[in-house]
């Protein structure tokens, strides 16, 4: 069993949950208002938070929805495939998805029937990491690091960098910068001994 989450782990869970939300649906007016109130500092995460707040102030629900569609649902130039299988094996529904499903089964987790995206979607993986970091998914010691190493770190930084540079991204360029920065911080933290 896992110990109760620390303040740092709860903050990490909130970052993952925010990324999961923004990768699975476009932000509504209320979320954009909350994001525009984010504060930061001179740290890489603080700078990324301030950039996201600025991007949220520059957009509105309709523009963010169009951008989300162009990036993740459209088939045109500039659209992205936010799946581990695409990044790791240049296919969809590939071996990375099969390995992920085995891991999820070992954790006693399964995708809700109403979810249409495969489990190796970046938003779904951020949701799992939020649950592991925040303690809402009970897992043995070391499971979070193992999940990150096997299913997140090998590709998600590249995905966020692609999102940051996507030609159709404006608000989502700031989401990409936040995600890339956060995954880099997480990778460094998980690489520390103990």
pLDDT digits (tens, 9 = 90+) for 35-47: 999 999 999 999 9
Q: CA-CA distance, 32 to 180, in Å (whole number)?
A: 20
Per-residue pLDDT tens for 155-171?
A: 999 999 999 999 999 99
User: What single-letter DSSP state applies at residue 2?
Assistant: P
pLDDT in tens, 78-92: 689 999 999 999 998
Rounded Cα–Cα distance for residues 32 and 179 (Å): 17
Task: State the residue for tokens 């495939």.
Answer: 81
List 83's β-bridge partners, or say none. 121
* SS3 state at 3: coil
What is the reported pTM? 0.94
């Amino acid at each position: 069993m896992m110990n109760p989450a620390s303040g740092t782990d709860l903050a990490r869970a909130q970052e993952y949950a925010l990324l999961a939300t923004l990768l699975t649906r476009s932000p509504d007016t209320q979320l954009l208002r909350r994001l525009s109130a984010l504060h930061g500092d001179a740290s890489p995460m603080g700078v990324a938070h301030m950039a996201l707040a600025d991007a949220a102030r520059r957009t509105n629900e309709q523009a963010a929805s169009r951008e989300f569609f162009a990036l993740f649902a459209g088939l045109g130039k500039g659209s992205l495939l936010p799946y581990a299988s695409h990044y790791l094996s240049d296919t969809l529904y590939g071996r990375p998805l099969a390995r992920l499903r085995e891991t999820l089964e070992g954790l006693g987790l399964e995708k809700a029937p109403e979810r249409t995206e495969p489990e190796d979607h970046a938003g779904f993986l951020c949701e799992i990491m939020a649950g592991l970091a925040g303690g809402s998914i009970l897992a043995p010691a070391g499971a979070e690091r193992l999940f990150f190493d096997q299913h997140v770190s090998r590709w998600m930084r590249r995905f966020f960098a692609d999102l940051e540079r996507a030609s159709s991204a404006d608000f989502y360029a700031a989401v990409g910068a936040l995600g890339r920065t956060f995954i880099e911080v997480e990778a460094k933290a998980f690489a520390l001994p103990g």
